[in-house]
Structure 1
């Protein structure tokens, strides 16, 4: 039992005896709270992993066993392990202790002052001792202004002391919170209790006995204020009375990070007649509390209308039994928390775990009403499909890495609805949004994170949505220079996305944050490739997989770091943290492309060099933005501790992850290392504690750490199957895996495919305090999604570069053209020059096979592909047909030949621009013109008179050796792209 409940028990009993119960079974307000707290304390020592399912639904003690481990105050204070230089709004978790249900629309919580908005996120700040209202909505841990906090309601005897005029009015010793319930006794003796259903709030406000009120001539009030929110000092609000016992109205909220506003509607009903003095969006409500001092008020919300708010209230909360609603909310939370049941470990570790799991289920939030209505991105009322729920509040840049995979795995039905909601949003605004508060894309944070959310959700089990339509939107935004949703560029701006397409990286010429865009765009492209593969779309799988390798274009081989580049190919060698690279620095971003860990390690100097570098990186576990170290409090570093698993030193992952959970997280108000970002940080903790992590975005597998608990039982959504994880020897400082078995079969690799766990499965760990060499020989077997698995050039094709005169290319998108800016070779003009699909083209005495284009792809953008020959071949010449695009001068890149004896030879592959700069340049000595196309064709089928060329390049090889593989350049010296049509050894 947490400190707040323990202290409040005695206070509650004392208040009950002083003021009385107020009549009726539901009026046992304070004594009821104390009794429940006592029952919860009795349940503390129950073993969550062994709770009997039938008991859990019928017995109060076992039903509340897991909620008893949740401390909603975690994250409400500045971190107890603060970052040296936290991101803006990143010093505090930004969570709230108020009443809500899993993924609920209503999140009814106290609001404290924020020093004029200086203490971010705004909401509930533990160091304060003043409550300025209880708003009905709140984003958990979001770092921007406009994080909801609409319609604050305040019980008081003095209406002039409400809001900005409030003085210190409560003490934490008189405050308690549990999942679905919040309670505080204010200094004036008013006891406030809050609980909730999905779309409604239920308040019980117990005023002192009538004799105490009369002796001081006090009048009890509830003040409704529709003219302010957490961060909007003045907004438009309307309140009116509805009969003798109800209010309805609306308030204008929103402006999250500068996004547009929306209207929140409400309908509130009291358990007695009221008198309301209403003026300019504020209502001072009075009532007779002499006989029943516990005033009950229930309120429904809607983003569509007050009538819908009333319908929500009538359907979800038709009665006046506060305790029943509180118990139902607790049961709803317990049911969700039971999805993962742990045993062993300390009580502190259980509190940290279940609080993190709780925080992982606060968002996204229900937005549709009980009748299916919701307000869409087009500002029109829509109706969600029967059986579905529309959701809002996706901090996609934060949640795609850990939270969406977690919730997709545990709650595939709800998460499928969340993904369908994003598709619905796209239908209304033109693209999958990247950061969505209520019914708008806020257009914040770099990249295209909505795409990564959809891809990751599908991979981890949330598949019941229109994935084909989602893929259409994903390929749209990944192949067009400018796609917008509600007026915001989904991939930042036309210039940034145009750079990414035509250069393979977003150039620093675009200014602020541009240096980190490529890594985010590449992640989105990788997610697109994986969904395309899952849906059988091989063309887009190959095309977007190749684009996901664009991160290599920003790898600086001299500094061995991922650094920003300009359009001319030059480097920014000393980028400024949180200016050139968003909320981080070059060293932190260097480790971000975890989907190609093997490719990254090869560039930094292979496993030994990577281990040395990572060891230095983890000398600080919550560094902040400036220091070149791990930063647990922000998302770009989330995947890095697990990278040791690809290095042959998995014990280092086990140690680092355990050090993080032991030292950076705690079970008190300062228990989060940074702002929670709608559950992102908390979800990372959940994964870490169970010893698994979704390292590779949009790939349905998990890399392995070590469980904190003796036993973890994960119940799958079908209700009958489960994964049982046992960890013999588990302990706080016992992280090292000695042995591991899946269903009795020994494993020696820190990777598991989700499909092997989604039945009745058993994972058996043996752990110890001393490291072992378990998994040391597995690095080469770990899944890594680079461009190194090809046996022929045909396998590696990744670009659609030959158009047809008069025919529009795929949806007329730039990304399906040769230069990825809208122009391609003409198939008719190439045929006239001697190149037809699938036929031979001879030049310089060498016969090449021209691509047939049947797959929709007809050339390869050079991005470091390794083509390992099906049969080694001795040759004296390597000959290639190709050209470059968007090249002011011929780019050069290193091509490597690997012989069967593992010796290598490197060459400067170089191709002139395909149009010779529109005809203004001449062919260099390194090339010969093999084909001349008389004209080009654009994405819409229109032709021009610009000549386009295909060049011949060759290199002399050692005839005495056999060629095993050919590795193409992964970047060029001037930032232009090189393309290959055909390749031949002779």
Structure 2
């Protein structure tokens, strides 16, 4: 729950997770969301060291910010798993470490000066985007006790990217050293209105406390809770009792990461740069959602409770599938948690922070996450009667409009806001924002319902939703052309016409009010992954589809995408995640390997800028981890498309004494990566796909032979496409 780290200001730049590589540090706060975009969230319950006495914390705090520009500051920041250190240009060193519900601050001040710490309950991460997504402080309470060495209270905050109403965080802090003075403050901008023993307010004033010490070494322990101040105090006492060293917390965090995360994947690789990538990606993909079991302020339940889902739109394509492989216990807990949210609030969350659902970028993609779990055999503790009822709520009930200023045509909070068109026309008119991208996702959502309905023997529902999953076809305009390809997913009016002016290579701003969200018509026109053979036929058959794929990845073709080689392919946005692997459906597994490997080696590295854009809550990291393994999941299906592994030997601990082992001979990750042959569990394999049961349900082994030259080894049955009917023959041998 606690993610303790620096908050940095650098002009009008949003620090989504608090951190920026340069700028002024203005606090170290307890709560962050890692790897997100959109707008900042949290950055609350902060401390900041100040050299000398503090006459006015609102002024002195600003004057004592670190100018943490790496070109001019005392030294670069230091980060490791479970540890962060900044050397401020005021001469203060600050080191932090954390547990589940508490954090430790360790300060070393310059000798010969008073040492002060400002605890700021009103501190929040701002947004400068002008979209109304900035956070606010709505009031709280701050009191000092324990001879001036302890403080407690709460803060009430609101808004952020998910437009959340008021939410409360309680805190309980202790300094290990006795301060020479301590007092609370309330102020507005730079003016202090109260500076004394305790303070409370329901206003938007700045609020906190100032603690001054006579020594240069100061240590603080702070617990937080979403339930109560007493629980925050209990959290810090149980997790960081007095006398705990910072190094002990770092060791504890690293031991836990090693046991529960990193040791799940072992490899023969000795190249330290590649190993840095592998384990950094494993780290980045597992930072959120946040396990808040026992910290649910809204209802009492025996179910697990997870928050900071940001967002299933980013995660459903390949991230949740990898979480299932690497963290099966937590994965099932998260499935149970979102179903429990539906029980108490009526809707599945597609995004959720501060215990508030919002926002839904496209479809109701929690449906895809549930279906993926179901078809891969997750049963046991999951109540699938409730799970399916939750999915059906999304499919049949239009959520009330929350009148989001950036897209006020329908709900962006939950469910499927454009459902009226979907049910009336079988497509979505431009009356609704994001009409085409929503239609693509609604099709996949309905496919997900069909799969669970089938497993539950709900025959009528299965037929209803498999038929609705084909509605993406109603957006296909065969007359639309671009770069020598014909047929694209386009906006469609209520009268059935496609008379909507647009360029398939361009999605205007590609944002909330537009027909396509965060990617182009070119990209979305590949996204009917459950109905791929019908898509191939609409694209001109096997040869037309091959030409379309090759055009998509051709460098130098599309100057508007200069950052990614002027290709139509944009690796920084999730709608294109699966596209490199679609060659498997037309018998060209070698080209799937080529396109995905070039993307992995071109747009990912072990240094700064090591992923192509925001982490998106680990989505980018999971995409390349699948690339390293040599597989790619088809969400809502048991199918995994076969790529090519990076390592001579990789072992993945699947839990319950099960292991997936992947080996390769004759190749290397940079140049000799084409598959020559494959054995699955010791048996020769001639298909460019396999299933969950083949290698994950009970463990398994993949043995690849690789080379620098491509061969057409996969001449067996093509991958399934459940909404397309029979798998066509001949593609694999063409």
Scaled by the length of structure 2, what TM-score is found?
Answer: 0.85
Check the 8 A contact 1:276/1:284 in 2, yes or no.
yes
Q: CA deviation at 1:451?
A: 1.7
Of 398, 413, 428, 2:344 maps to 428
Check the 8 A contact 1:133/1:163 in 2, yes or no.
no
* Structure 2 CA distance for partners of 1:492 and 1:199, relative to 1, 3 Å: closer
What's 1:251 paired with?
155
- Identify the range of structure 1 (147-156 vs 231-240) with the bigger mean alpha-carbon deviation: 231-240
Check the 8 A contact 1:254/1:260 in 2, yes or no.
yes
Of 291, 296, 306, 2:229 maps to 306
1:277 partnered with 2:183: yes
Q: CA deviation at 1:553?
A: 0.9
Q: Distance in 1 between matches of 2:373 and 2:92?
A: 45
Q: CA deviation at 1:284?
A: 4.3
1:327 partnered with 2:251: yes
Q: Distance in 2 between matches of 1:349 and 1:675?
A: 20
What's 1:524 paired with?
445
1:473 partnered with 2:390: yes
What's 2:411 paired with?
489
Of 109, 117, 142, 1:239 maps to 142
What's 1:515 paired with?
436
* Structure 2 CA distance for partners of 1:134 and 1:375, relative to 1, 3 Å: same
Q: CA deviation at 1:169?
A: 4.4
Secondary structure at the residue paired with 2:396?
Answer: coil
What's 1:807 paired with?
none
Of 76, 97, 108, 2:4 maps to 108
Q: CA deviation at 1:165?
A: 7.2
What's 1:785 paired with?
722
Q: Distance in 2 between matches of 1:129 and 1:502?
A: 52
* Structure 2 CA distance for partners of 1:618 and 1:165, relative to 1, 3 Å: farther
Structure 1 residues without counterparts, runs of 5 or longer: 1-104, 791-865, 867-986
Check the 8 A contact 1:367/1:392 in 2, yes or no.
no
* Structure 2 CA distance for partners of 1:493 and 1:701, relative to 1, 3 Å: closer
1:323-722 to 2 correspondences below 5 Å? 323-335=247-259, 336-344=261-269, 346-368=271-293, 372-376=294-298, 381-385=299-303, 388-460=304-376, 463=379, 464-482=381-399, 489=411, 496-510=418-432, 512-559=433-480, 560-571=487-498, 572=500, 574=502, 576-577=507-508, 578=510, 579-620=514-555, 629-694=568-633, 696-718=634-656, 720-722=657-659
Q: CA deviation at 1:620?
A: 4.6
What's 1:294 paired with?
217
Q: CA deviation at 1:773?
A: 1.4
Q: Distance in 2 between matches of 1:391 and 1:354?
A: 24
Check the 8 A contact 1:142/1:677 in 2, yes or no.
yes
What's 1:166 paired with?
65
Secondary structure at the residue paired with 2:722?
Answer: coil
1:65-84 to 2 correspondences below 5 Å? none
Q: Distance in 1 between matches of 2:93 and 2:64?
A: 20
1:201 partnered with 2:201: no
Q: CA deviation at 1:489?
A: 3.2
Q: Distance in 2 between matches of 1:233 and 1:714?
A: 41
What's 2:51 paired with?
157
1:915-949: CA deviation from partner (whole Å, max 9, x where unpaired): xxxxxxxxxxxxxxxxxxxxxxxxxxxxxxxxxxx
Secondary structure at the residue paired with 2:103?
Answer: strand
* Structure 2 CA distance for partners of 1:138 and 1:593, relative to 1, 3 Å: same
Check the 8 A contact 1:144/1:256 in 2, yes or no.
no
- Identify the range of structure 1 (413-422 vs 529-538) with the bigger mean alpha-carbon deviation: 529-538
- Identify the range of structure 1 (226-235 vs 708-717) with the bigger mean alpha-carbon deviation: 226-235
Secondary structure at the residue paired with 1:733?
Answer: coil
What's 1:761 paired with?
700
Q: CA deviation at 1:624?
A: 7.5
Check the 8 A contact 1:266/1:310 in 2, yes or no.
yes
Secondary structure at the residue paired with 1:152?
Answer: strand
1:296-336: CA deviation from partner (whole Å, max 9, x where unpaired): 21211111211111122222233523222110100111121
Secondary structure at the residue paired with 1:581?
Answer: coil
Secondary structure at the residue paired with 1:557?
Answer: strand
* Structure 2 CA distance for partners of 1:537 and 1:161, relative to 1, 3 Å: farther
Q: CA deviation at 1:628?
A: 6.9
What's 2:191 paired with?
none
1:943-982 to 2 correspondences below 5 Å? none
What's 1:908 paired with?
none
* Structure 2 CA distance for partners of 1:123 and 1:645, relative to 1, 3 Å: same
1:110-130: CA deviation from partner (whole Å, max 9, x where unpaired): 1111423x346362111x142
1:767-803: CA deviation from partner (whole Å, max 9, x where unpaired): 112211121x34x52111124259xxxxxxxxxxxxx
* Structure 2 CA distance for partners of 1:310 and 1:460, relative to 1, 3 Å: farther
Q: Distance in 1 between matches of 2:268 and 2:214?
A: 47
Check the 8 A contact 1:174/1:186 in 2, yes or no.
no
The size of the alignment, in residue pairs, is 662
What's 2:86 paired with?
184
1:225-264: CA deviation from partner (whole Å, max 9, x where unpaired): 1113111575134321132321112222341223323111
Secondary structure at the residue paired with 1:137?
Answer: strand
Q: Distance in 2 between matches of 1:742 and 1:154?
A: 56
Q: CA deviation at 1:460?
A: 4.8
* Structure 2 CA distance for partners of 1:401 and 1:201, relative to 1, 3 Å: same
1:726-745 to 2 correspondences below 5 Å? 726-728=663-665, 729-745=667-683
Q: Distance in 1 between matches of 2:218 and 2:376?
A: 46
Q: Distance in 2 between matches of 1:120 and 1:314?
A: 31
* Structure 2 CA distance for partners of 1:404 and 1:254, relative to 1, 3 Å: farther
Q: CA deviation at 1:337?
A: 1.3
* Structure 2 CA distance for partners of 1:626 and 1:594, relative to 1, 3 Å: farther
1:195-224: CA deviation from partner (whole Å, max 9, x where unpaired): 11111112222223xxx32xxxx2111211
1:134-166: CA deviation from partner (whole Å, max 9, x where unpaired): 111111222222422112211221554535873
What's 2:167 paired with?
262
1:593-647: CA deviation from partner (whole Å, max 9, x where unpaired): 1122222111101222111111110125976899771111111111111101111
Q: Distance in 2 between matches of 1:494 and 1:203?
A: 44
Secondary structure at the residue paired with 2:438?
Answer: helix
* Structure 2 CA distance for partners of 1:588 and 1:107, relative to 1, 3 Å: same
Scaled by the length of structure 1, what TM-score is found?
Answer: 0.64
1:88-134: CA deviation from partner (whole Å, max 9, x where unpaired): xxxxxxxxxxxxxxxxx111111111423x346362111x1421111
User: Which of structures 1 and 2 has the bigger CA Rg?
Assistant: 1
Q: CA deviation at 1:751?
A: 0.9
1:245-297: CA deviation from partner (whole Å, max 9, x where unpaired): 2111222234122332311111112212233221125334435453xx43221
Check the 8 A contact 1:266/1:306 in 2, yes or no.
yes
Q: Distance in 2 between matches of 1:161 and 1:752?
A: 62
Q: CA deviation at 1:495?
A: 7.0
Q: CA deviation at 1:399?
A: 0.9
* Structure 2 CA distance for partners of 1:122 and 1:713, relative to 1, 3 Å: closer
* Structure 2 CA distance for partners of 1:163 and 1:740, relative to 1, 3 Å: farther
